[in-house]
Structure 1
Amino acid sequence: MKPFVVTPRLIAINQLAALPKEETFAWRAVGDDPQFALRNALLLPGWHMLEVEMKHDQECAVLKLYFDTGEGISEAQRVAMPLKNGRITKRLVYLPGGIKHIRFDPLESEGCFSIRHFRFVWLTPWFAHDRLAQRLVNMHFQWRGYTKQSVLPALKALAAEKQVKWRELALQHYEATFESFDTGSNYTDWLARQPELTTEQATACLSSFECQPTVSILLPVYNSDPGYLAACLDSVLAQRYPHWQLCIADDASQDEAVKALLDRYAAADTRIVVTYREQNGNICAASNTALESAVGEFVALLDHDDCLSPDALLEVVHALQTAPQAKLIYSDEDKLNSFGERYEPHYKPDWNPDLLLAQNYISHLTVLNAQLVRTVGGFREGYEGSQDHDLLLRTTAALAPEHIVHIPKVLYHWRAIEGSTALSHQHKSYSQDNGLKAVNDYLAQHFPDAKASLGHIPNTYRVCWPLPESRPLVSLLVPTRDRVEILQPCIDAILARTDYQQFELLILDNGSRCPATLAYMKEVQARDSRVRVVEWDQPFNYSAINNVGVRHAKGEIIGLINNDIEPINSGWLTEMVRHVCRESVGCVGAKLYYPDDTVQHAGVILGIGGVAGHAHKYFSRHAYGYFSRLHLAHGLSAVTGACLLVRKNVYEQVGGLNETHLAVAFNDVDFCLKVREAGYRNMWTPYAELYHHESVSRGADDNEEKRARAAAEVHYMRATWAEQLDNDPAYNPNLTLTHEDFSLR
C-alpha cells in the first residue's frame, strides 16, 4: 500500500521575513513568536509521521504545531519536536477529526532558518502503535525494561485503572519523550513540579541526625546594597538546620546603613558575629577575618548579595550522615534576577578534577572542613575574584575522591546584578587573570611540566599536559570493508593532517572485495611506511576486529578510529596523546562533528535512551554548550570508540572490547566503564577536532536480524551496568535522560 503523503504549503503569518535567494537561509524570525499557517493540508484523521528537515542558526530549536478543531489555537492541541539541525527529524502525530487550521511555529526566538523538507505521511494504526511502543521502551524512564510487545497491553491496563482513554495516556507518555525544557523560560514551571520538604519532614530528618556539627558561614561585606544584604541575612535565619554561626566581616564600609543593618541583625540573634575591619583590604582579607571568628567544624562560603535555600545546611549535614569522612561538600546552584526570580540552574557533575582545572564549576554552595581551610592558609590575597577557585584547588589537592561530596540539589541562589560575575564574567575581568594564576600555581606544585593558558571562553582555562621526552608510538586501528570512497578520505586526511608523527596506521580489512578498495590499500601501504593492512575475513564484529588489531599493534598507545573520520586540526593526535600519557587517565575522546559542522560527539552521557547518548548532539560547532562544557577538557564516564585513545596495557588489562555480547553497538561504552572500574579516569577534549560521517560504512539497523542484535546489546548493557547507566557521576540526576541537550528531566 502506497502511503498517503501530504506536503502542505507554508504561509508566513507572523514575525517572519523572507530572505533573498543569495542568503544562506530562506527565512528570518524577527521576533520570539514566528508563525506559519499550513495550506493545502488535507489530512486524514488518525496517525501520521511528521517529517521535518530545517537548517537554522540556533544552538537548538523546537518546532511546535497547533491544531484548531474549531475552538481556536490552544496548548491542549499542540505537539512539539526538537529538531536535528540540517537533518530530517520524525515523530508520530495523532490528528483528530474536524481540523480547521494548522499553525506551525518554527522557532522560539529571533534567528534564521530554511525548511528543506516538511510533510505528513499517513500510517496504519498497527505501524503507528509499533513505533510508539518502541520509542517508549527506548526513551521513557517508566517503560525502561519493558519489551515492545508488552507496552500497549500495559498502557491499556494503566488507562483503565486511571479511567482515561488509552490513546490519550499513550500520547501523554509519547509527548514526554519530546519535551525539552530549556533552563531559562521553563525553569519556573519545572520548579513548581518538584516536591518540597515539609516542616514535618525537615524536623524528622533533623532528629535522625547522629552527627550535628556547627557550620560557620563566612560572609565578607563591603558597601552592600541594604536590600540585598537583608535578603541574604534572612536566608541564613530561615535555615531549618539550627546549628550554624554567621561570621560577618565588614571590610570598612562607608555606608552607615550597612553598619546599622548588621548591628540590628547581630543584636537579634547571638549566632551572628560581626567584625568591623578598621581598614579596607579586599575580599580575601575580609574572608580571612570572618574565618578567624569561625568556631564550627565546617565553614560555608556566602556572598553578601546571594541567598541560601532554606534547606541548604540541612542537606549538607544530611550528606555528612552517610559520608562522615567528607571534607568538601558542594551543591548545585541557580541565579536570581533583579526581580528575585530564579533562573539558569547549574546542575553539576560529581567530583571532576579536570573540569575544576578548566573552570570553577564547584562555585556555590561550598562547605569545607574548617581545619583544612586553615591548614592550607585560608584565602590568599592577590587572587581576588577567583579566591574561591584558588582555595578549592589547594584544598582538593589534599583530598581523596571519597572526601568530596556533591549534593545534586540547588541550595544556593547567586544574584545576577550589575557588576556581578553571575551576570557576566566581563564585569570582573581581573578574576580571569587571577584564576589562571591559581591554576598555574596548582600545576607548578603538583604537575610542574604542565602549563595552563586562557580558554576560548572567559574564566575558562586550557591545560597543556606534557608529552614524554621519548614520544610513544600510537597504533591507529581503522576497521573497514570496501567503500573506498569513505576509506580513502579518512586515511589520506590522517596522513596529511596529523602533526604527531610517531604513529602507525593499521587498516583492518574485514573481507573487502571491491577492486578499487583493494587497489587503494595496496597503493597507500606502498606509499607510506606507517600504513599496514591486516586481513580479517570474518563476519562483521567491531569488537573482535579491533581486538585482532591490538594484537598486531606495535604501539604503546592504541587509537580506535572509524573509517569515516577526518581530522580537522593537525594537532588532534598530539592533544589526545598528552592526555592519555597521564597515569590517572584511561580513555581519551575527541570532539566530532557532522559534515554540516554540528556536534556529533562531545562525550557520552550514560542513561540517555536507556543506555547512553552523545552530549550536546546537534549543537552548532561554536556553541558554548552547557556551562561552557563544549569548550572544556573534562572527565566523562565514557567516550565514543569512533576516535578513542587508550594505553595498550590498559586495553589489555580490562580484556579489550567485548566481542561476545557487543559485536556492533555499545562496546565502546562497556569498554570505558571497565576502564573506569579499573581505577582510571576517562577524558574528553575539545581541542582534538574531527569530522565523523556517523555509521556511513556500517549502515542502519533496518532489518529484523539487526534489530534483534541491537535489542540484545541493549539488554546486555542494562543487565551488566544498570546502576552505572542510571547514575552517571559526570552528569546530574536533574538533567534529561531523553534528550542529548542537558535540558531538565
Structure 2
Amino acid sequence: MKPDDAKSDKDAREEIAALKKTVEERDREIAMLAEWMGAVRVDVGSVFSSFAWKIGNALIKIMAGAMGFPYREGLRERLEGVFDSFRAWRASRSKFSRDAGSPSRVFDPDSVLYGRWIQKYDILEDSAISRIRDLARNRPRGPVFSLLMHSKTAGPDQWADSLESVLAQIWPNWEVLSVCGEAGDPTVDTYAARDSRIKKISCSHHSGAARALSRLVSDAKGDFITVLTPGDEWSPDALGRVAEALEQRPGIRLIYTDHDRINGDRMDGDRRRHSPCFKPSWNPDLLASVDFIGPSAFYHRESAVALGGFSPGFSRARGYDLTWRFIEKFGWDALCHIPRPLFHQKSADGDLVRGMRKALEGHFRRLKKNVQVVDVPGGLRTIYPLPSHPPLVSLIIPIRDRADLLRTALDGLLGRTDYEPVEIIVMDNGSRDPETLAYLSEIKKDSRISVIRRPGPFNYSRLNNIGAARAAGEIIGFVNNDIEVISPGWLKEMAGHALRPEIGAVGAMLRYGDGSVQHAGVVMGLRGLADHAFRFMDKGAPNAHPRLGLIQNYSAVTAACMVMRRRVFEKAGGFNEKSLKVTFNDVDLCLRLEKMGHRILWTPFAELSHHESSTRGPDHHPKRALRLAREIRFMKSKWKKTIENDPCYSPNLTRDGYDFAPGPPVGRKSTQPTR
C-alpha cells in the first residue's frame, strides 16, 4: 500500500468513527425525546380526561351554541396527529438503523442523572452515623460481619481500595479474611499490620476459588458472611445499616442491598459511580431470570455452613447458587432488602450466565420440577412444559360493534395461535352496527365460538364474569377485541406458567402498532395510582432496559390479555362488578390474588399487538369522568400500602416515567418487606 493510500485509509476510518459517535449521540437524544413525548402524550390524555376539562368543554359548547358560534373539536386530534407522526418517523428511523447494521448498545443509565441522584438522595446524614454508633455501643459483641476476600490476580490497588472501604466502616464489629495471590500479599500484610481485624489465611495457591472460600467460611467467626472481591467497595454506613436491619428483624438469614458500578481508583480524583441496580424486595421469577441480588448479599454464617457453603463449579455465580439453597430452606420471608446503593462493584462479572444456568437447573432438580432453562439476552428463560394433552383454554372477548377489530382478533386467536384446544366466548354488549351483527351470526357457525348478548351500560367486570361462568376451560383468558396476535407461541407460553400452582395470573408483552411497548407489567404508584411499565419504549431500542426482556413478577398485569386457571379466578371472586365497573378491575383482581398467596407473572415471550381502548374509547364524557374518579378513590382507599410501596419495583425508581430511571425515593425504609 502506498503512503498516500495508507493515510487516506486512516482518515476514512477516523471519519467513520466520528460519524458513528455522532449517530450514537443522536440515538440517545432521540430516545430521551421519545420518552419525553410519551410522557407528554399521557399528560395530554390526563388533561383531556380530567373532570375540570370535561366540565369546561361542556360549558364552552353550551355557550357557543347559545351565542350562535360554531364549535369545532380538533385540538386533541391535532395533538394525537403530532404524536403519531413522531412515532411513525421514529419507527422508520429505527428500521433504517437496523437495516443499515447499526450496532445496538446495552442499557446504560445516564451518568449525569444518577450523579444528581447521588448528590441529592444518597447522603450519609449525621443522624444515621449517630444511630449506628449508638447501636454499636449497645451491642458491643455483635452482630459481627466476616468479609471474605479471595483473588489470585488482583493487584495492590484493588486490594487497597477494598480494604480502605472496610476500614472506613462506622460499624466496628467486623473481620476480613483474605486469601490472595503473590501480587496482593504485600498489600494485605501492610493492612493486617495496621488492623488486627484483617487476617491473611494460608491456602494453597493451586486451590480454586470455591475451595479457598470454603476455607474462609470455616475460619470465619462472624454472624454473617459476605464475599468482597478486591476492587469492590462498601459505603461507610453499609455494615451499620445491615446491623440495624438485623436489630429490626432478628430472624432474617439473607440480607442484600442495592448496588452500582464504580470506575477509577480510590486514591485518584477521577472516580465515577454509574449503572445503579435498584432492586425489588420480592420477585422470585425475576431472580430465576437474573441474579438481581448479586454481590451485595450477606448470608447467615451458621446457615451457610449447614447448607454446605459455596459449592464449586459455578464460577462467579456461586452466590446465586447459595441464594437459591437459602430460599429452598428458609423461604422468601427470611430475606431482607435494604434499598440503598451501599455496594460499589468494580470487578467484572465473568462467565456469570453459564454458572447461573447451572445453579438454577440444580434448584429445579432439587425441587423435582421439570423446567427447561435456556439463555436469553440479559439472563435466563424458564420454560414450563405443557401436559401431553393440554387443557382447554376459554378466551373471553367483550365487544360492542367494531367488527373489523373482532375479525382481526379472531383471525389471530384461531388461525395464528399454535395452541389447541381453544374456545372463544364473545360477550356482545349491545352491538347495533349491521356489519357487526352479520359477522356475529357468521362466526356462531364455528363450533369453537359462542356469542352471548348482554346489552346495557358498559360494565367490563360483569361481562367478563358472565363469560367466565360460561367457560368450559380449565384455563381462562381475558382478551380485548383490539388485540392482534403477532407471535404464534403466545398462548403456550402463558398457559405453561398459568398451570404453575403458585401463579395467580399471567400477563403478556403488548405492543402498539409501531412495535413500541404498550404493556410490560403494571407498577403500583406509577404516575399516581398504577400504570404500565416501559410504555412507549421501542422494540430493540438501544437504551432498552434489561428487565424488559426477562420473565418476572409484577403486582399486576392488564386484562387486555390475561391468562389464569379458572378455579383460581372463581376462588378470588372474579372481577369487582360493583366498585370497579370499567377501570382498575384487573389490578384489583391481581392484588387480591397476591393476598391469597399467588404470584402475578409477566412474560416477554408472549407478544401481541394492542390498539388501546379502541372499543370503549377514552373517558371524555363527564359521567365517565365521575365514574373514573370513584374507581380511583376506591383503589386508593383499598390498596394504599401497595400503591405507596410496590414490592416488585423499587422506592428509588421514578414514579413519573416509565423507564425505571432513578427518581426521588418514595416510602424508602431502612428495610423493605419481601412481600
Q: When the two structures are superposed, what TM-score results if normalisation uses the length of structure 2? A: 0.82
Which residue, out of 82, 95, 98, partners 2:36?
A: 82
Structure 1 residue 196: Cα displacement = 2.4
Give the alignment of 1:397-436 within 5 angstroms.
397-415=328-346, 420-421=348-349, 428=350, 430-436=351-357
Q: What SS class does the counterpart of residue 243 from structure 2 fall into? A: helix
Write out per-residue CA displacement over residues 417-453 of structure 1, whole angstroms, 9 at most, x where no aligned residue. Answer: xxx23xxxxxx3x432222111111111114311101
Q: Distance in 1 between matches of 2:542 and 2:318?
A: 24
Match of 2:383 in 1: 464
Q: What SS class does the counterpart of residue 398 from structure 1 fall into? A: helix
Match of 2:118 in 1: 191
Q: Distance in 1 between matches of 2:182 and 2:30?
A: 45
More helix as a share of residues: 2
User: CA 1:643/1:58 → structure 2, altered by over 3 Å: closer, same or farther?
Assistant: farther
Structure 1 residue 205: Cα displacement = 3.7
Match of 1:102 in 2: none
User: CA 1:637/1:624 → structure 2, altered by over 3 Å: closer, same or farther?
Assistant: farther
Q: Distance in 1 between matches of 2:334 and 2:373?
A: 26
User: CA 1:659/1:29 → structure 2, altered by over 3 Å: closer, same or farther?
Assistant: farther
User: CA 1:129/1:656 → structure 2, altered by over 3 Å: closer, same or farther?
Assistant: closer
Q: What SS class does the counterpart of residue 329 from structure 1 fall into? A: strand
Q: Distance in 1 between matches of 2:315 and 2:144?
A: 27
Match of 1:343 in 2: 274
Match of 2:22 in 1: 30
Q: Distance in 2 between matches of 1:298 and 1:129?
A: 61
Match of 2:511 in 1: 593
Contact 1:615 1:740 in 2 (8 A): yes
Q: Distance in 1 between matches of 2:156 and 2:626?
A: 66
Q: Distance in 1 between matches of 2:190 and 2:54?
A: 67
Q: Distance in 1 between matches of 2:622 and 2:584?
A: 19
Q: What SS class does the counterpart of residue 295 from structure 2 fall into? A: coil
2:22 aligned partner, one-letter code? V
Structure 1 residue 60: Cα displacement = 3.1
Q: What SS class does the counterpart of residue 676 from structure 1 fall into? A: helix
Match of 1:486 in 2: 405
Q: Does 1:321 align with 2:247?
A: yes
User: CA 1:267/1:556 → structure 2, altered by over 3 Å: closer, same or farther?
Assistant: same
Match of 2:32 in 1: 61
Q: Does 1:727 align with 2:654?
A: no
Contact 1:206 1:241 in 2 (8 A): yes
Match of 2:661 in 1: 743
Q: Does 1:355 align with 2:286?
A: yes
Match of 1:503 in 2: 422
Q: Distance in 2 between matches of 1:579 and 1:200?
A: 47
Q: Does 1:517 align with 2:436?
A: yes
Q: What SS class does the counterpart of residue 718 from structure 1 fall into? A: helix
Length, aligned pairs only: 581
Match of 1:44 in 2: none
Which residue, out of 132, 157, 178, partners 1:227?
A: 157
Q: Distance in 2 between matches of 1:292 and 1:593?
A: 52
1:84 aligned partner, one-letter code? G
User: CA 1:432/1:214 → structure 2, altered by over 3 Å: closer, same or farther?
Assistant: same
Q: Distance in 1 between matches of 2:603 and 2:272?
A: 35
User: CA 1:485/1:130 → structure 2, altered by over 3 Å: closer, same or farther?
Assistant: same
Q: Distance in 2 between matches of 1:404 and 1:193?
A: 28
Match of 1:163 in 2: none
Which residue, out of 300, 310, 331, partners 1:379?
A: 310
Unaligned runs of 5+ in 1: 1-26, 35-55, 64-80, 93-125, 132-180, 422-427
Contact 1:524 1:531 in 2 (8 A): yes
Q: What SS class does the counterpart of residue 453 from structure 1 fall into? A: strand
Match of 1:261 in 2: 187
Match of 1:120 in 2: none
Q: What SS class does the counterpart of residue 624 from structure 2 fall into? A: helix
Structure 1 residue 58: Cα displacement = 7.3
Write out per-residue CA displacement over residues 691-723 of structure 1, whole angstroms, 9 at most, x where no aligned residue. Answer: 000111111111211111111111111111111
Q: What SS class does the counterpart of residue 688 from structure 1 fall into? A: strand
Which residue, out of 671, 675, 678, partners 2:596?
A: 678
Q: When the two structures are superposed, what TM-score results if normalisation uses the length of structure 1? A: 0.74
Give the alignment of 1:713-724 within 5 angstroms.
713-724=631-642
Give the alignment of 1:77-476 within 5 angstroms.
82-84=36-38, 182-194=109-121, 196-208=123-135, 212-250=142-180, 253-255=181-183, 258-338=184-264, 339-415=270-346, 420-421=348-349, 428=350, 430-457=351-378, 460-476=379-395
Q: Does 1:665 align with 2:583?
A: yes
More strand as a share of residues: 1
User: CA 1:309/1:579 → structure 2, altered by over 3 Å: closer, same or farther?
Assistant: same
1:652 aligned partner, one-letter code? E
Match of 1:161 in 2: none
User: CA 1:638/1:321 → structure 2, altered by over 3 Å: closer, same or farther?
Assistant: same
Q: Does 1:700 align with 2:618?
A: yes
Q: Does 1:533 align with 2:460?
A: no
Q: Distance in 1 between matches of 2:535 and 2:360?
A: 30
User: CA 1:313/1:183 → structure 2, altered by over 3 Å: closer, same or farther?
Assistant: farther
2:439 aligned partner, one-letter code? Y
Structure 1 residue 596: Cα displacement = 0.3
Structure 1 residue 29: Cα displacement = 9.8
Q: Distance in 1 between matches of 2:325 and 2:164?
A: 31
1:444 aligned partner, one-letter code? R
Write out per-residue CA displacement over residues 597-643 of structure 1, whole angstroms, 9 at most, x where no aligned residue. Answer: 00000000000122101011111122487751111111111000100
Match of 2:86 in 1: none
Q: What SS class does the counterpart of residue 558 from structure 1 fall into? A: strand
User: CA 1:606/1:624 → structure 2, altered by over 3 Å: closer, same or farther?
Assistant: farther
1:369 aligned partner, one-letter code? H
Structure 1 residue 570: Cα displacement = 0.9
Contact 1:216 1:245 in 2 (8 A): yes
User: CA 1:182/1:359 → structure 2, altered by over 3 Å: closer, same or farther?
Assistant: closer
Unaligned runs of 5+ in 2: 1-18, 46-51, 58-107, 265-269, 664-675
Give the alignment of 1:617-696 within 5 angstroms.
617-623=535-541, 628-696=546-614
User: CA 1:58/1:619 → structure 2, altered by over 3 Å: closer, same or farther?
Assistant: farther
Task: Compare relative contact order (CA 8 Å, sep 6+) and give the higher one, 1 or 2.
Answer: 2
